[in-house]
Amino acid sequence: MVAASRLDDSHDTGGAERVFLALRDRVVSGELKAGDRLPPERELALKFNVSRPILREALRSLAMLGFLEIIQGSGAYVRQPDIALVSDFLTFCMAQQPDVLDDIIQSRIAIECQAIRLACEKASEADLNRIAASLTSLLDTLEDPVLGGQADYEFHSGIVRASHSPALTTLYRALTPLLMQSHVSRRRIVPSGIRNFLVDAHKEVFLSIVDRKPDEAEKRLREHFAIGDEYRRKSLIAEFSKTLPNKQA
Amino acid sequence: MVAASRLDDSHDTGGAERVFLALRDRVVSGELKAGDRLPPERELALKFNVSRPILREALRSLAMLGFLEIIQGSGAYVRQPDIALVSDFLTFCMAQQPDVLDDIIQSRIAIECQAIRLACEKASEADLNRIAASLTSLLDTLEDPVLGGQADYEFHSGIVRASHSPALTTLYRALTPLLMQSHVSRRRIVPSGIRNFLVDAHKEVFLSIVDRKPDEAEKRLREHFAIGDEYRRKSLIAEFSKTLPNKQA
DNA sequence: TTTCTATATTGGTCATACCAATCTTCACCT
DNA sequence: AGGTGAAGATTGGTATGACCAATATAGAAA
């Protein structure tokens, strides 16, 4: 990974990159396991035939990627990188493209619709209780845009979690930062009087999971998303009809 | 990103990390755009009050992450990181967990089922032609496990591409490396005589897109996946019944 | 004006020295 | 004997200066 796609292998790269790739490969190949301690810098520098500053460039890079934890006076320890890094990186990559916020929702729908099917099979009692709890807190925070958005997120992430699929959960977590933005902004422009319908939609989705009916659950979830999308369009139009006359005046 | 989740902000970290975060933030905030050239190392070192080796640790780290391209004699240039890095990283992270290869398929199904719906709306003539082409090459490579697997992948990735959703495409690309493994291994154990059924399934899926029928397309795609899963289970059982007698003998 | 060469700029590397945090060891005291 | 604490060794953190190599720039020559 990391620049590996660019220079694949032994592209007579610089010393630092050579060391970086060598150590990285030892980690991904499992030769170096989490918790292992690397030899001292001075020793490694000799082993790789580079100076200590160069060796340190490689070590620091690995540390920034989460492959190493370097502790002064102690040593450099291998550690398993956290998914959170992927999340941040993905966020940045997607944020570069225009209109991502609209598009990211498609990924969200994709993950949730598959997750809810799995949830119908695998959801445990605890999963259902957690989702139910987020439903009630959804009711309690109808008036608060921030807390309401948070409850909304917990409901949906609860579904994903109930799928017991690490991969789906990982991807969903990766999307979460971008998701939060659209959540908040969407909820801000939804007419307050209509929120009750949204609550009912959540309830129906939840009940479908309880009944263990995958097709029905996905169908209701899609309707829920479609309704949300509908409201968003309407409020956009409403925004326009407010702003346009101002420009004419 | 990158260790940011661990130490969030200004955690009185070392000099290298301080510089790293500062420069990284300038990139993600858009202050530094792709193509921009950074000041010379010696100058930057002064600006950040660090020595050049330390400054270089930060620059090298950014380069390894794909944020910078460093050219000897010229300078360090900002560049937009490639998704491929995320892909590799995700691959590694997920590969650490046991039984991900089975689970990753769930994410694949999730993305494709949403993508095929969008494809029914947005697929262009070119998209359909591309998918059709992969269908014919699927027919031509029925006997070759490797080429056949590749054609299969191109068919499915063609669907995702036809969704015209950058986010879905990005995620799919991120899953691709892991997907290829399961693709190949799956195709290897599918009885050769039954592959024709799989080809027919692909055809039906394709025709549903041509007919612009989202529900039907997703339904057929899910059936296709279910059938593939079925075969996988059967061949696993077949494998067992082959190996078990050997142990007895 | 074009081309080429000398120079300046800039990244790449090295060696060394010193500081700071940690670890290890061992003498010392209870 | 066992705990305790301080001195030394180990190890990462940083700084300085020097030199090489690739590139860019400016000026001279055609």
User: Which residues have a Cβ under 8 Å from the Cβ of A240 and sit 6 or more positions away?
Assistant: none
- pLDDT higher than threshold 80 for residue A3: no
Nearest chain B Cα distance for residue A216, angstroms: 13
Window A71-90, strand C contacts by Cβ < 7 Å: 71-74
CATH code of B84-242, in short, is: 1.20.120.530
User: In angstroms, how far is D3 C1' from A27 CA?
Assistant: 41
| A149-181 per-position pLDDT tens digit | 788 889 999 999 999 998 899 889 888 877 776
Nearest chain B Cα distance for residue A159, angstroms: 14
Distance CA A238, CA A194 (A): 15
Kind and range of the H or E run holding B78: strand B75-78
Contact check, Cβ <8 Å, B80/A96: yes
Residues B205-212, mean pLDDT to the nearest whole number: 96
| A80-102 per-position pLDDT tens digit | 877 777 777 777 776 667 677 77
- pLDDT higher than threshold 80 for residue A27: yes
At B3 the pLDDT is 41
- The answer to whether the beta carbon of residue B35 comes closer than 7 angstroms to any atom of strand C is no
Q: Which of A33-47, A108-122, A164-178, B79-93 is least confident? A: B79-93
Nearest chain A Cα distance for residue B60, angstroms: 6
| A117-154 per-position pLDDT tens digit | 999 999 999 999 999 999 999 888 877 777 877 888 89
Contact check, Cβ <8 Å, B64/A4: no
For chain B, percent of residues with pLDDT exceeding 90: 48
CATH fold of A2-78, please?
Arc Repressor Mutant, subunit A (1.10.10)
Residues B200-217, mean pLDDT to the nearest whole number: 94
User: Rounded to an integer, what is the distance from CA B112 to the centroid of its chain?
Assistant: 13
For residue A233, with 0-12 CB atoms within 10 Å meaning exposed, 13-18 middle and 19 or more buried, which class applies?
exposed
Half-sphere exposure of A113 (CA within 13 A, CB side): 28
Phi, psi (rounded to 5 degrees) for B72 = -60, 135
pTM of the model: 0.75
Alpha helices by DSSP H, B190-213: 195-210
At B116 the pLDDT is 97
In chain A, what are the domain boundaries?
A: 2-78, 84-242
For chain B, percent of residues with pLDDT exceeding 70: 78
Residues B185-212, mean pLDDT to the nearest whole number: 78
- CA distances (Å), B3 to each of A14, A175, B17, in order? 25, 18, 9
Which of B115, B210, B214 has its CA nearest to residue B169?
B115
Bases along strand C below 7 A from a protein CB: 9-17, 20-23
Identity of the amino acid at B104 = I
User: Which residues have a Cβ under 8 Å from the Cβ of A189 and sit 6 or more positions away?
Assistant: A231, A232, A235, A236, A239
Phi, psi (rounded to 5 degrees) for B28 = -70, -30
Residues A28-45, mean pLDDT to the nearest whole number: 91
Angle, nearest 10°, between helix axes B166-189 and B214-248? Answer: 30
| B132-144 per-position pLDDT tens digit | 999 999 888 877 7
Contact check, Cβ <8 Å, B6/A82: yes
More confident call, B97 vs B122: B122
Q: What is the chain B residue with the closest CA to A170?
A: B94
User: Which residues have a Cβ under 8 Å from the Cβ of B56 and sit 6 or more positions away?
Assistant: A53, A57, B41
For residue A113, the chain B residues in CB contact (below 8 A) are 110, 113-114
Which of A43, A88, A38 has its CA nearest to residue A60?
A38
At B118 the pLDDT is 97
Q: Which of B60, B83, B94 faces A57 most closely, judged by CB atoms?
A: B60
Band of pLDDT at residue A249, cut at 50, 70 and 90? very low
Distance CA B33, CA A40 (A): 38
At B188 the pLDDT is 55
Contact check, Cβ <8 Å, B113/A113: yes
Q: Is there a contact between A213 and A120 (Cβ–Cβ < 8 Å)?
A: yes
